[in-house]
């Protein structure tokens, strides 16, 4: 399996060197800035869940740079976004966002040509799994924190977050992957 | 686009508490509040959380956006799911109970039977105390903790250096990326791009977002290559990292940590050893409805 058009090296999805540190930091900052900028699209009455186009950023950084970068992008990015917006510090939702980037990262070993149909299908699958597991974990933690029952958790927390996140992810991730493929091809990464 | 952190130095008692002690205390409150539904313990934890919050000397103007979000969450969870539908009380409140309006109520000339019980209403109060206790300690963090302290705090709390530095670095990138976001937005607007919130369905909104999100993301990735090379040239990661912002424990930080540990241990002991974990309704609460 080749990771680029040119190098022919095998991908190691768990490496975390200088480049990954920078990608993760950039990803987290980008996630925070875009989330903050789009916070005006909060859905009233649906828990603490907003429509966030930025959710595609941890998913994409996971697919492109591996699970650790994806996790940090979502986890730290959500902490920073909440800090910028003044929403406080909610570790279980931060972890959920981290998982939303980590799961696509696990698929990154199978994605080596970002504009191929097969790679995009893997990416789309990872979006559904990542959003399901990430938002599922965060929503279920509300049962422990606020004593809500399973119906409340599903209808007030999980479904609004999961459905909006997969819509953004499924549509925007392929566009980002194709755009990134052009950069990879041009720069020979 | 101007990014402004919510933190500012207020010379409050909270400004003088070590961030490590603050995180340990906050998590102790989280675990204490989620260990039990006993009204007395929840009330004690709630009072401790209010006292902790008051140490930050925050004003309503400072924190109103955070409280707005929490109000939406509380409204959904408590008013709709616990009081109106009774859903949120499932599993904690035993079935049955004393009706608040046993003879029903008349609204606009129509007689309605409302199934709200005294027990469910008390559960809403308990839920309010639990969620507010947790919210009080966590909502204040962005307003009272210097953004320079996060990296070193998590590093000293045991997070690997590279991860802690990633967090530190991401703070540094936020103003740069916010500026890039604004430049891209302006450039796209010059080409006729419109980003009007509230217009159109979700597909139209996504179509509006793509021309903005794609160039900002790609630009950030391309520029990160140069930053990584510069860091490698300076020997990043070769030795254990030192931090410009230094943390120092004082006697009061140790006292706070000791208090947090004793409080959590006491709550766990009361909940599990003395069987005070389950939901119960105080007698005086029944008295209000007789």
Residue B136 domain-assigned (yes or no): yes
Q: Is the ipTM of this complex over 0.90?
A: no
Quick one: pLDDT at residue A44?
A: 40
Q: Determine the pLDDT at residue B99.
A: 83
The strand pairing partners of B117, in sequence order, are B99
Q: Are residues B105 and B175 in the same domain?
A: no
The pLDDT assigned to B195 comes to 66
A40: chain B residues, CB-CB within 8 Å: 197
User: What gap in Å lies between CA B65 and CA B142, rounded to an integer?
Assistant: 12
**Model pLDDT for residues B52-76, shown as the tens digit of each residue:** 999 999 999 888 888 887 888 778 7
Q: Is there a single domain that holds both residue B56 and residue B142?
A: yes
- Looking at the structure, tell me whether residues B59 and B142 fall in a common domain: yes
Confidence (pLDDT) at A16? 86
What whole-number percentage of chain B has pLDDT above 70?
A: 92
Domain identity same for B159 and B132 = no
Query: Are B60 and B87 contained in the same domain?
Result: yes
Q: State the CB neighbour count (10 A cutoff) for residue B262.
A: 11
- Closest-CA residue of A relative to B221 is A23
Q: What is the pLDDT of residue A49?
A: 47
| CA distance linking residue A42 with residue A54, whole number of Å | 13
Q: Three-state DSSP class for B244?
A: coil
- Classify residue A3: in a domain, yes or no: no
pLDDT at B196 over 70: no
The pLDDT of residue B128 is above 80: yes
How distant is the Cα of A10 from the closest Cα of chain B, in angstroms? 20
The contacts of residue B48 (CB under 8 Å, 6+ apart) are: B29, B133, B263
Residue B7 lies in a domain: no
Question: Would B88 be classed as within a structural domain?
Answer: yes
Asked whether residue B163 falls in the same domain as residue B140, the answer is: no
**Separation of alpha carbons A79 and A101, rounded Å:** 14
Contacts of A163 (CB under 8 A, 6+ apart): none
pLDDT of residue B288: 86
Residue of A nearest to B32 (CA): A145
pLDDT in tens, chain A (189 residues): 444 544 445 567 888 889 999 999 999 999 999 888 876 544 443 444 455 788 999 999 999 999 999 999 999 999 888 888 767 678 888 999 999 999 999 999 888 789 889 999 999 999 999 999 999 999 888 888 777 778 778 887 888 889 989 988 999 999 999 999 998 888 766
Q: What share of chain A is helix, strand, coil (3-state, %, to 5)?
A: 75, 0, 25
**Would the CB atoms of A145 and B131 count as touching at under 8 Å?**
yes
A41/B6 Cβ within 8 A: no
Could you count the other beta carbons within 10 Å of the beta carbon of residue A25? 27
Both B68 and B210 in a single domain? no
Is residue A6 assigned to a domain? no
Share of chain B above pLDDT 90, in %: 30
Chain CA centroid to CA A107, Å: 13
Window 125-164 of A, Cβ < 8 Å to B? 142, 144-152, 156, 164
- B270 vs B1, residue with greater confidence: B270
Position B162 pLDDT exceeds 60 = yes
| Residue B26 pLDDT greater than 50, yes or no | yes
The dihedral through the CA atoms of B278, B282, B283, B287 has a sign that is negative
Pair (B49, B119) in one structural domain: yes
Better-scored residue on pLDDT, B105 or B22: B22
Q: Is B265 on the interface with A (CB under 8 A)?
A: no
pLDDT of residue A137: 92
What is the rounded distance in angstroms from the CA atom of residue A112 to the CA atom of residue A116? 9
What is the Cα–Cα distance from A75 to A100, expressed in whole angstroms?
A: 9
Query: pLDDT tens digit string along B225-252?
Result: 889 999 989 888 888 878 888 889 999 9
Total domains, chain A: 1
Q: Write down the mean pLDDT value for chain B.
A: 86
More confident residue, B65 or B200: B65
A135 belongs to a structural domain:
yes
Q: Is residue B13 part of a domain?
A: no
Q: Which of A52-56, A83-87, B30-34, B174-178 has the lowest mean pLDDT?
A: A83-87
- The answer to whether residue B38 is domain-embedded is yes
Mean pLDDT of B263-278: 93
Q: Is residue A60 part of a domain?
A: yes
Helices B202-233, A56-65: axis angle to 10 degrees equals 40
B11 found inside a domain: no
Q: Is A168 on the interface with B (CB under 8 A)?
A: yes
Confidence of residue B18 (pLDDT cuts 50, 70, 90): very high
B87 shares its domain with B173:
no
Task: Give the burial string for A33-48 (b: 16+ CB within 10 Å, else e).
Answer: bbbbbbbeebeeebbb
Burial class (CB in 10 A: 0-12, 13-18, 19+), B1: middle
Q: Which residues of A touch B73 (CB under 8 A)?
A: 47-48, 146
Query: Which of B8, B79, B206, B221 should be substituted to probe chain A, the one whose Cβ sees the most A Cβ atoms within 10 Å?
Result: B221
Crossing angle of helices B19-35 and A117-146, rounded to 10°: 70
Residue A12 in domain: no
For residue B128, give its domain range.
23-146+249-287
Of A127-131, B107-111, B154-158, the range with the lowest mean pLDDT is B107-111
Domain with A145 in it: what CATH number? 1.10.1760.20
Task: Please give the residue range of the domain that contains residue A91.
Answer: 18-42+49-187
d(CA A20, CA A27): 10
Q: What are the angstrom distances between the C-alpha of B147 and each of A24, A54, B241? A: 18, 22, 18
**Is the same domain home to B140 and B280?**
yes
Q: List helix spans (H) across B191-250.
A: 202-233
Do B181 and B70 have their domain in common?
Answer: no
Tell me, yes or no, whether B33 lies in a domain: yes
DSSP B20: H
Q: How far apart are CA A176 and CA B220, in angstroms?
A: 13
Tell me the two tokens of residue A55. Answer: 């959710």
Q: Where are the beta strands (DSSP E) in chain A?
A: none
* Eight-state DSSP code of residue B85: S
Q: How many domains does chain B have?
A: 2
The answer to whether the Cβ–Cβ distance between B216 and A34 falls below 8 Å is yes
Q: For chain A, what is the largest distance between any 2 Cα atoms, rounded to a whole number of angstroms?
A: 54
Does B257 lie in the same domain as B138? Answer: yes
Residue A80 falls inside a structural domain: yes
């Amino acid at each position: 399996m080749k990771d680029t058009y040119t190098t022919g090296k095998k991908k190691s999805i768990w490496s975390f060197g200088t480049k990954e540190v920078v990608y993760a930091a950039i990803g987290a900052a980008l996630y925070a800035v875009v989330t903050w900028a789009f916070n005006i699209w909060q859905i009233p009455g649906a828990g603490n869940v907003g429509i966030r186009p930025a959710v595609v950023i941890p998913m994409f950084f996971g697919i492109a740079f591996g699970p650790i970068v994806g996790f940090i992008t979502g986890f730290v990015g959500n902490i920073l976004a909440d800090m910028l917006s003044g929403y406080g510090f909610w570790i279980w939702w931060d972890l959920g966002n981290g998982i939303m980037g980590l799961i696509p990262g696990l698929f990154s070993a199978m994605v080596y040509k970002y504009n191929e149909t097969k790679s995009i299908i893997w990416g789309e699958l990872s979006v559904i799994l990542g959003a399901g597991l990430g938002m599922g974990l965060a929503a279920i933690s509300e049962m422990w924190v606020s004593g809500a029952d399973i119906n409340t958790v599903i209808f007030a927390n999980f479904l609004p977050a999961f459905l909006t996140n997969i819509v953004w992810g499924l549509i925007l991730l392929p566009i980002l992957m194709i755009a990134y493929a052009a950069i990879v091809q041009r720069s020979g990464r | 686009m101007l990014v402004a952190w919510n933190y500012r130095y207020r010379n409050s008692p909270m400004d003088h508490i070590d961030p490590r002690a603050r995180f340990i205390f906050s998590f102790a409150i989280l675990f204490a509040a989620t260990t039990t539904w006993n009204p007395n313990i929840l009330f004690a934890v709630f009072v401790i959380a209010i006292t902790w919050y008051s140490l930050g000397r925050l004003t309503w103007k400072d924190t109103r956006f955070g409280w707005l979000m929490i109000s939406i969450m509380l409204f959904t969870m408590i008013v709709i799911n616990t009081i109106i539908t009774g859903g949120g009380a499932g599993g904690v409140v035993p079935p049955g109970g004393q009706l608040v309006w046993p003879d029903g109520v008349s609204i606009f000339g129509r007689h309605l039977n409302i199934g709200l019980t005294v027990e469910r209403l008390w559960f809403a109060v308990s839920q309010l105390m639990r969620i507010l206790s947790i919210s009080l300690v966590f909502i204040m963090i962005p307003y009272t903790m210097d953004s320079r302290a996060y990296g070193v705090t998590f590093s000293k709390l045991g997070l690997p250096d590279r991860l802690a530095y990633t967090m530190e670095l991401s703070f540094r990138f936020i103003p740069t990326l916010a500026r890039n976001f604004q430049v891209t937005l302006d450039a796209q607007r010059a080409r006729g791009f419109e980003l009007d919130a509230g217009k159109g369905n979700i597909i139209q909104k996504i179509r509006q977002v793509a021309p903005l999100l794609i160039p900002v993301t790609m630009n950030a990735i391309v520029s990160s290559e140069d930053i990584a090379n510069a860091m490698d040239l300076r020997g990043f990661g070769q030795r254990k990292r030192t931090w410009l912002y230094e943390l120092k424990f004082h006697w009061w930080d140790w006292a706070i940590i000791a208090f947090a540990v004793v409080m959590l241990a006491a709550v766990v002991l009361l909940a599990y050893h003395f069987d005070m974990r389950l939901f119960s309704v105080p007698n005086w609460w029944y008295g209000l409805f007789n």
